[in-house]
Amino acid sequence: MTSDPKQFETEKEDVNDDASAEAPAAAGLETPAMEEAAGEAVPGGASREAELEAEVADLKDKLLRTMADMENTRRRAERDRAEAAKYGATSFARDMLQIADNLHRALASLPEGARDGADESVKVLVEGVELTERSLLSAFERHGITPIAPQPGEKFDPNQHEAMMEIPTDAVDPGTVAQVLETGYMMSDRLLRAARVGVARKP
């Protein structure tokens, strides 16, 4: 029985194809088909890892923002507490200024030399008023309340002085304080009441 040469050639090619397919596997090499199979072993592995990293980064950012907000809140609370302790009595202090003004006016209304000719009861009364005024001013000083009492000729300061009128005079330079009508006060570094003054101008 004679063999067909063409059939022999076809069988030889099939054998060669099988050998070439097995050779890379035997040598430890990966074919495209093997790579595809390996990729299917852990579906979406790289994308899942990227999602986890993004989630960690987002949580870290939120944590840092929360910590920053808490620190800002703590500092703001400390500042508010300090200001409350420092300026909490502002309204009360302003009311007490009227008492200081009245005591000063009472002493200023006493004519010079009137105490010498007065009887003992009047002298005791005047000394009591003076003592009360000194005690009140001492209490002001202990609580950080200091007077603003510009001297005649001192430059007018709109941040601490309130101009009530103009006084024509040559005694001091124009634009300076000519007369103090009412003493002003500072509470620490905050203006409690401006000093009311008369400002000099040329006659």
Has domain 60-143 been given CATH number 3.90.1170.50?
no
pLDDT tens string 140-162: 999 889 999 999 999 999 999 99
Instruction: Please give the distance of CA 19 from its chain centroid, rounded to a whole number.
Output: 80
Fold of 144-203: Nucleotide Exchange Factor Grpe; Chain A, domain 2 (2.30.22)
- Coil, strand or helix: which one is 202? coil
| pTM of model > 0.75 | no
CA distance 108 to 152: 18
Residue 90: the pLDDT is: 87
pLDDT tens string 65-97: 999 999 999 999 988 888 777 777 888 899 999
Residue 39: the pLDDT is: 47
**CATH 3.90.20.20 domain span(s) along the chain:** 60-143
For tokens 């209490």, name the residue: 139
Q: Which stretches of the chain score pLDDT less than 50?
A: 1-3, 5, 8, 15, 19, 21, 23-29, 34-35, 37-41
Residue 116's region, left for phi above 0, alpha for psi from -120 to 50, else beta, is: alpha
**Helix, strand, coil percentages, rounded to 5, for the chain:** 60, 15, 25
